[in-house]
Structure 1
Amino acid sequence: MNKPLISDIYTADPSAHVFNGRIYIYPSHDIETNMPENDNGDHFAMRDYHILSMDSIGGKVTDHGVALDIKDIPWAGRQLWAPDAAFKNGTYYLYFPVKDKQDIFRIGVATSKSPTGPFKAQHKPMEGSLSIDPAVFTDTDGKSYMYVGGIWGGQLQRWRTGKYDGSKPKEQEPAPNEEAVGPRVARLSNDMLSFAEPVKEVKIVGKDGKPFLAGDNKHRFFEGGWMHKYNGKYYFSYSTGDTHLLAYATGDSPYGPFTYQGVIMNPVEGWTTHHSIVEVDGKWYIFYHDTELSGKTWLRNVKVTELKRKPDGSIETINP
């Protein structure tokens, strides 16, 4: 397996894209906060984004410095978590989750004429946005979709009624025998700054066609969704969180439903796992993170390795 792509700063949650033949990586920027660990992830108190790039897998990695700082986001409160990026209409879009002044996670968007920034944030979060881990997928017909969501500290379980409820956080996750909370998806408008429709819940089901239950933490969605398309099939991959697996499910529509297929990657060193999958020069790669450099779950480092498939399109499990 490969070594960390960079070692002078801590990085995590890498969203990788190929723009103009070059690989760009949009990660979180981990910092030491000396805050105690908890299930809400308060110790992940990141404040800015650095964008990385390289001309090829295994090539020299460039750190382009601070692309967006939390102090330059007018509505932001704290915790600048895992971002993603997209390109359309001659503009680069950086999508980011951050808690607003009321401590509710929303999704913001910032724009630049360069893939490395600096990015200028919009004055308000995206209308109708919620939770964390935005992942933007542009289909072959040019339509773009955003997938969002993460339970526990990501607050997705607080939106079960359709409105945010922060009153009894410990009681909002479904009981083990209830249907699990699914990620959300919405098509983006042509300007890439807003949703063209209300967000919808994504169904992830077993091969028996039944949705996973909340207690099935080896299969149910936790956070870190990502979408890619291969041979006409939609591959939705995600983290199972407290069981530390990267899993995937496939479907015939960007909206799902998606049928569970298996594990992409077994647990890495560290509590969290978050990835992206991208095609580079005819091969597929998975970008991910672990804690090789620090041994601390909140100080992570990004890595990349090849993603291999069987002839039927199924993904071979990686043992990191």
Structure 2
Amino acid sequence: MSRVSVEPVHTGNFADPFVLRVGERYYAYGTGLDGQQEPGGRVFEVLSSDDLHTWHSHGGALIPLSDEPRAYWAPEVAEFQGTFYLYYSVGVGDSGHHLRVATSRTPLGPFTDQGVNLTPDEPFAIDPHPFQDKDGQWYLYYARDDLAADRVGTVLAVRRLEAMTRLDGPAVPVLAASSDWQLYQRQRPMYGRVFDWHTLEGAFVVRRQGQYHLFYSGGAWTNETYGVGHAVADHPLGPWREPQGGPVVLRSGPGGLRGPGHNSVVQDAHGQDYLVFHAWNPQGTQRELHVEPLIWTAAGTPCVATVG
């Protein structure tokens, strides 16, 4: 069984990484620069690679909405009928985030926002993940705040995409926090009240061995509590089943990984899955890009061995 390396494949600030394979080439998109655009520049650094190990930067992918300072988070890209769709959230700092979509004719961009707020009724929505089922139907998973959950905080939801720039129907609950390891912060002031706030975010879905597998991150992205959990379902809308306990796919370990999470999954031309994720550098100053083989057990459970 392979072991997770503490060495990143790209040493720049590259949080919330997503990798898309187009033909024989891979394209990685990340939040970077703490989600802020450079003056006069684009947001969301895009990298390319032929082998998932050596990466080359092509600068920013998305044309900003305006010159006003905004926080741009967690890009993911889907290709459909020759157009590339970049889904992302934008807000002011860590407040008021909504989901949006931009398009380009190439994976390198530039991506141009389509002028649509996909989640106008949500007070906070982040981490959009487009997923196409085997029947061709597209779904958009994302994270949203829920003050009515048993463990108040950020939860996962999904909606059908009626078109690539339009959602259909109400949000369907996917997962809410169920364990102590998913605590983000005790006594966190939110929405004019104070909560022990729990967080699930960074949903990513693949279909393997006849089931739908959901990866998600929980805990606080700022520290060692952050990790990747896993759930399964028989349909993209659920219901989802998850094991109890701590993060079962990735966690901080004695070998040096700190706060690994917000993963995506990419498959190479030979059918091998790879887990793409970020982890803090030793100085705790930036989150860096990691790529590791994803192993599926005979029971259909995904795992990446812990450094030890």
* Cα contact 1:94–1:109 (8 A) shared by 2: yes
- Corresponding position: 1:3 with 2:7: yes
Matches within 5 A, 1:90-109: 90-99=82-91, 103-109=95-101
* Cα contact 2:251–2:259 (8 A) shared by 1: no
Note closer, same or farther for the CA distance 1:11–1:115 as it changes in structure 2 (3 Å cut): same
RMSD: 2.8
- Corresponding position: 1:307 with 2:294: yes
Alignment partner, residue 189 of structure 2? none
Distance in 1 (CA, whole Å) between partners of 2:279 and 2:206 is 22
1:125 Cα offset (Å):
1.9
- Corresponding position: 1:16 with 2:19: yes
Alignment partner, residue 182 of structure 2? 217
CA displacement 1:66-119 (0-9 Å, x = unmatched): 1114xx315975211111110002100011111169941101111000011111
CA displacement 1:156-204 (0-9 Å, x = unmatched): 33xx3xxxxxxxxxxx475xx55775311011123x0111222222146
Alignment partner, residue 166 of structure 2? 194
* Cα contact 1:50–1:66 (8 A) shared by 2: yes
- Output the amino acid matched with 1:123: G
CA displacement 1:189-224 (0-9 Å, x = unmatched): 23x0111222222146xxxxxxx5475637x75211
Note closer, same or farther for the CA distance 1:240–1:95 as it changes in structure 2 (3 Å cut): same
- Output the amino acid matched with 1:248: H
Q: What is the count of residue pairs matched by the alignment? A: 272
- Output the amino acid matched with 2:267: E
1:148 Cα offset (Å):
0.6
> TM-score normalized by structure 2?
0.79
SS in 2 for 1:259: coil
Distance in 1 (CA, whole Å) between partners of 2:50 and 2:6 is 17
Alignment partner, residue 80 of structure 2? 88
Distance in 2 (CA, whole Å) between partners of 1:113 and 1:313 is 36
Match of 2:62 among 58, 64, 68: 68
Alignment partner, residue 264 of structure 2? 276
* Cα contact 1:251–1:258 (8 A) shared by 2: yes
> TM-score normalized by structure 1?
0.76
Long gaps (5+) in structure 2: 38-42, 184-197
- Output the amino acid matched with 2:249: I
Long gaps (5+) in structure 1: 31-43, 150-155, 161-171, 205-211
Match of 2:284 among 265, 284, 296: 296
- Output the amino acid matched with 1:6: H
- Output the amino acid matched with 2:155: G
Alignment partner, residue 188 of structure 2? none
Q: Percent identity?
A: 27
Alignment partner, residue 156 of structure 2? 183
